[in-house]
Amino acid sequence: METSILTTKGQLLIPKRIRNKYGIKSGVKVIFEDAENGVVIRPMNENYFKTFRGMLRSSGDLKEEIRKIKEEEKQLEHAKMNRIFKAKAARKTK
């Protein structure tokens, strides 16, 4: 088990053996995650970002999904404009 002391500036020294084992080099950002029993410190290196691979994959064609979303937005906007014009026309007839 390795230990470190928090400085008055809130800084921690990560022991060399741990830095070497996990590839934490000068300039590498680390992430602090809340865990059930404490804090987990992980390097935000290439391996960290690889854990996100495939997370955003779609089951279908992305272009088709975007086209559908745009079409839905267009229909909602069209319905909104119709309500506005009908409301204006109703006020003019009064």
Distance CA 14, CA 8 (A): 16
Which tens digits make up the pLDDT trace of 36-78?
A: 999 988 888 777 767 667 766 666 677 888 888 999 999 999 9
- Judge whether 39 and 32 are in contact, CB under 8 Å: yes
What mean pLDDT do residues 72-88 have?
89
- At residue 14, the pLDDT reads 92
What is the DSSP-derived secondary structure letter of residue 55? T
Q: What is the pTM of this model?
A: 0.46
Determine whether domain 1-57 maps to CATH 2.10.260.
yes
Residue 94 has pLDDT above 70, yes or no: no
Which tens digits make up the pLDDT trace of 24-36?
A: 888 888 889 999 9
Domain chopping of the chain, boundaries: 1-57, 58-94
